[in-house]
Structure 1
Amino acid sequence: MAETEDAGGAGSAGGVREVKSAARTVDLLELLAARGDRPARLQELADELRVPRSSMYALLQTLIGRGWVRTDTTGSLYGIGIHALLTGTSYLDSDPRVRAVRPYLDEASEALGETIHLARLDGMDVAYLATRESHEYLRTISRVGRRLPAHAGALGKALLAEHPDTELPEGPYEALTPHTHTTRDSLAADLAGVRARGYAVDREEGVPGIIGFGFALRSDTSPAQDAISCSVPSARLTPEHERRIVAVMREIRAKIEATSPGGAGAPIWS
């Protein structure tokens, strides 16, 4: 039958067999997205995904025609296409939690004058869904749509602390700075502190010179999937400012958790 001709590989959720061509397409798009501003050559992609060169070329040409992949004027370099951006924007626009949280991100930004983030846990990474940049310091690129290791920042640690430590990978973990936790025991000890105080602190673990405070949002799902954070340059963080950040972010979290993300009949996404 047509529905099963291209099926193969490991099973997936609900016992439905994975469709090989669909899985290959997603793997390719994720690989190109992860490379960022480093375009790839045909052979690189074929080797990385263990796909015959001819099959990879045909897949690339199909995706170029549909706007999911782009190529340079020589046709030898490949990168993620504009339809990935359009689809990502649609995800943000359709998500009830993102819509509900945006006004509170504005409120926190105005109150503190610092950078405020909303992110979602995805495996052992966090994906940034919304950002309000500080007027005091500027970043070179927007964080929206980026993924960072959950073990290396306040957002990720706030969400990992909602899970039992038995779910943590064995490690070692990637070190983004000299302060990053690289072992399971070290991270687990930090997460115990997160649970005790009710929020996570990242002291230059993800970005040199930046300290973050992360707060899991527990109103809809258990364990929590989303978190908000405030990031501040370490050079400007005084004990008084830290206390104010924690107080304001706790208040913002309470307001968000008291707000329903959708009306009656709205889907609850898993």
Structure 2
Amino acid sequence: MSTGGDSGGAQVKSAVRTVELLEYFADRPGMHTLASVQQAVGYPKSSLYMLLRTLVELGWVETDATGTRYGIGVRALLVGAAYLDGDEVVAAARPTLDRLSDDTTETIHLARLDGTSVVYLATRQSQHHLRPFTRVGRRLPAHSTALGKALLATHTDEQVRRMLPERLTAVTEHTVTDRERLIEELALVREQGYAVDREENTLGLRCFGIAIPYRTPARDAVSCSVPVARLAPGHEQLIKDALFDARDRLTLATRRL
């Protein structure tokens, strides 16, 4: 293997392209043609094909029966599972998530801020027939979720301005798309201690989120999601009280992390 400067640069470029390809497939479930992948990532077709074939051989990318369509491979799942298995916060949070699920009977999530998105690390499904479904590993915009807003609120207004563009993506018709309006809402989140997603990510679903303050700014948050049709005033207050209790428990559980 050459150790020249050009070779070193090429190796770094190859690594970046590999990661970008895996992230492309992770964000777009299903199988994709070489042409569609090339159009999205913009790599030269010949080098893209060789990189894909290498990833297929290593198990990071899979092909369909024709060998012409590509998707994320099983090794990505193994690495993701290893990340969760080795994460101290996920391990410390399990008893609290179980209790929060029992206390509210609703869907519970633990998520982490990653750039301007939140990534779901753990979930507890609702005990009701009518319930939302969110898989572990799912990535959603922070500004449209209670989890994300709870975490953004632990940053200063100027930090939020540096993190987010002026115009934010609308996930539903209720999503706050103006950054300054979002910043005004974050002030309320800091005051009341929790954030609310009012059908901003999923129509018919309201979520309440609260940050875990073992770091500043906070990195992780928990939430409770409930269909609007089931959200009576008494149930809403029960959820808020349960979230504050969960925050206190998680603060103790993560105090040494």
TM-score tier after normalising by the smaller chain length: over 0.9
User: Per-residue CA shift, 1:47-79, capped at 9, x if unaligned?
Assistant: 322211111111111100111000011111100
User: Per-residue CA shift, 1:149-180, capped at 9, x if unaligned?
Assistant: 00001000000001112233233111111110
Aligned to 2:136, the other structure's residue is in SS state coil
Structure-2 residue corresponding to 1:36: 29
The one of 15, 26, 35 equivalent to 1:22 is 15
Alignment partner of 1:213 is 2:213: no
Alignment partner of 1:172 is 2:167: yes
The one of 85, 89, 92 equivalent to 2:84 is 92
Structure-1 residue corresponding to 2:231: 237
User: Per-residue CA shift, 1:195-253, capped at 9, x if unaligned?
Assistant: 1101101111111111111000012x211100000011111111111111111110111
Aligned to 1:181, the other structure's residue is in SS state coil
Task: Give aligned-pair identity as a percent.
Answer: 50
Alignment of 1:144-183 (within 5 A): 144-167=136-159, 168=161, 169-183=164-178
Q: Note closer, same or farther for the CA distance 1:142–1:3 as it changes in structure 2 (3 Å cut).
A: farther
Q: How many residues align?
A: 253
Structure 1 alignment gaps of length 5 or more: 10-17, 263-267
Q: CA RMSD in A?
A: 1.8
Aligned to 2:170, the other structure's residue is in SS state coil
Aligned to 2:253, the other structure's residue is in SS state coil
Alignment of 1:219-258 (within 5 A): 219=214, 221-258=215-252
Contact 1:100-1:261 at 8 Å conserved across structures: no
Tell me by how many angstroms 1:6 deviates: 3.8
Structure-2 residue corresponding to 1:15: none
User: Per-residue CA shift, 1:32-56, capped at 9, x if unaligned?
Assistant: 111113x211122223222111111
| Partner amino acid, structure 2, of 1:29 | L
Aligned to 1:258, the other structure's residue is in SS state helix
Aligned to 1:252, the other structure's residue is in SS state helix
**2:115 and 2:130 mapped to 1: Cα distance?**
29
Contact 1:42-1:77 at 8 Å conserved across structures: yes
Tell me by how many angstroms 1:140 deviates: 7.3
Higher helix content, 1 or 2: 2
Structure 2 alignment gaps of length 5 or more: none
**1:203 and 1:52 mapped to 2: Cα distance?**
44
Structure-2 residue corresponding to 1:61: 53
Q: Note closer, same or farther for the CA distance 1:19–1:139 as it changes in structure 2 (3 Å cut).
A: farther
Q: Note closer, same or farther for the CA distance 1:3–1:186 as it changes in structure 2 (3 Å cut).
A: farther
Aligned to 2:237, the other structure's residue is in SS state helix
**2:223 and 2:23 mapped to 1: Cα distance?**
26
Aligned to 1:2, the other structure's residue is in SS state coil
